[in-house]
Amino acid sequence: MEQTENIVIVGGGPAGAYCALELSKHGVHPTIFDHSHPREKPCGGGISPIIIKKFPFLENFRSEGFTFPGFKLITCTNHQVSTNWYKNGFGISRRLLDEKILEMATKKGSKLIKEKVIKIQKKGNKWIIKTKKRVLLSKILVGADGVNSIVRLNTVGSISNENLALTYGYLATSNEKKRATIKYMGEIPGYIWVFPRKNCYSIGIGSELRYGGKLRILLDDFISQYCPNIKIFSKFAAMLPSANNPKFFSLPSSGKNWILIGDAAGHVDPISGGGILYALWGAKLAAKAIIKNDLQAYDKLWKKEYGNKLKTQSKKKDAFYDPVNSTFMILLAGKKSMNA
Ligand SMILES: Cc1cc2nc3c(=O)[nH]c(=O)nc-3n(C[C@H](O)[C@H](O)[C@H](O)COP(=O)(O)OP(=O)(O)OC[C@H]3O[C@@H](n4cnc5c(N)ncnc54)[C@H](O)[C@@H]3O)c2cc1C
């Protein structure tokens, strides 16, 4: 007889770990599967003032990161302006951030099994979850396993190429004064980021999947022009959800005994690529629905609280990255910041 759990969360990134933490506030202690920690997830690690306002516990990690004094924005025609964008946000290592949130969850009673889930099957009204070492059953399955989610694959189906973005980038050190920067480009709908952290920078580029072949060249050109003296010590390439079709957000993210949260649900801002806010927000709403014993209520909750925002961002994406529009927006942002 296989062991039966009440709730299994696949993935212990911000979404899975925070969902577990929220559940534990109600005396419910799920089992989390994640083989990867400690690990540096490919990410800008940018924690915006909006995320901190919504989830003030993140303030506890500021001292482990680098506080942004504002952002330098560069237009596709290479005009530079200083802005208050992201002011008092911070950049942080994902190895550190994710470990801390996961630790908060396990300290409150969640069980972490450091194994990769390799197969999921439905059996009656339960789920069979397999790793290389064990098989167990669960009444409820939470998919917090990121953009390539195995839970998503076995429920609503994988995210289509149309709604995915590709990123490429480096972790690097530099002796120069730390400066957070975003550069927009005329060649692709996307941007380059330079996010300082405490001891290094995340420097990367992201755009729709179909522009993947151009990313490395554009990023390396940027580096040779703007920061030729950085010392790169690792590189990354990763996908992330990025809805080009607003209808993507009409797909269900929950059923009778399953829920998708964070990147597994595709809950990422289609313009900025920011997903930590929605990973935590969705996690909180998922926990609420699980406690109410009404998992399908989750779909109503996230659609009501942030679904429209994600849909609107998806609709605005093309116009946002239009070179004339983005140049105008950046110059205006610079002017506003000067007058503030
Ligand atoms: C290059 C890049 C830059 C980004 N920059 C920013 C930024 O600056 N700010 C921001 O807000 N967002 C950013 N994002 C988005 C952000 O990283 C994600 O939205 C966020 O990490 C989502 O959290 P999550 O917990 O849903 O998924 P993840 O962080 O991906 O965590 C998923 C976890 O599931 C585990 N897992 C996967 N499969 C299995 C399995 N089969 N069994 C067990 N465990 C499994 C993984 O090991 C991982 O730990 C960026 C994304 C990328 C790719």
Per-residue pLDDT of the chain (340 residues; tens, 9 = 90+): 678 899 999 999 999 999 999 999 999 999 999 999 999 999 999 999 999 999 999 999 999 999 999 999 999 999 999 999 899 999 999 999 999 999 999 999 999 999 999 999 999 999 999 999 999 999 999 999 999 999 999 999 999 999 999 999 999 999 888 889 999 998 999 999 999 999 999 999 999 999 999 999 999 999 999 999 999 999 999 999 999 999 999 999 999 999 999 999 999 999 999 999 999 999 999 999 999 999 999 999 999 999 999 999 999 999 999 988 888 888 887 878 777 6
Token pair 């994600």 is at which residue? Answer: 310
Q: Which of 240, 259, 268, 278 to probe ligand 1 with, by most ligand atoms within 8 A of CB?
A: 240
Torsion of CA 292, 293, 295, 296, to 10 degrees: -80
Residue 256: predicted pLDDT: 96
From the CA of 41, how far away is ligand 1's center (Å)?
Answer: 7
- Tokens representing residue 114 in the block: 């450091």
146 Cβ closer than 6 Å to some ligand 1 atom: yes
260 Cβ closer than 6 Å to some ligand 1 atom: no
Segments making up each domain of the chain, as ranges: 3-335
204 Cβ closer than 6 Å to some ligand 1 atom: yes
What's the CA angle centered on 127, arms 152 and 31, to 5 degrees?
85
Provide the sign of the torsion angle of the four alpha carbons 330, 331, 333, 334, taken in this order.
positive
Q: Which of 209, 267, 276 to probe ligand 1 with, by most ligand atoms within 8 A of CB?
A: 276
Q: Cα 143 from chain centroid?
A: 14
196 Cβ closer than 6 Å to some ligand 1 atom: no
Torsion of CA 17, 288, 117, 61, to 10 degrees: -10
User: Residue 288, Cβ neighbours under 10 Å: how many?
Assistant: 17
266 Cβ closer than 6 Å to some ligand 1 atom: no
| Residues ≥6 apart with Cβ < 8 Å to 330 | 73, 74, 75, 79, 81, 83, 184
289 Cβ closer than 6 Å to some ligand 1 atom: no
Say which CATH superfamily domain 3-335 falls into: FAD/NAD(P)-binding domain (3.50.50.60)
- Residues facing residue 166 across a β-bridge: 207, 239
What pTM did the predictor assign? Answer: 0.97
- Tokens representing residue 111 in the block: 């069980």
Residue 337: predicted pLDDT: 78
Residue 212: predicted pLDDT: 94
| Residues ≥6 apart with Cβ < 8 Å to 145 | 10, 11, 16, 117, 151, 152, 264
133 vs 264: CA distance, rounded Å: 24
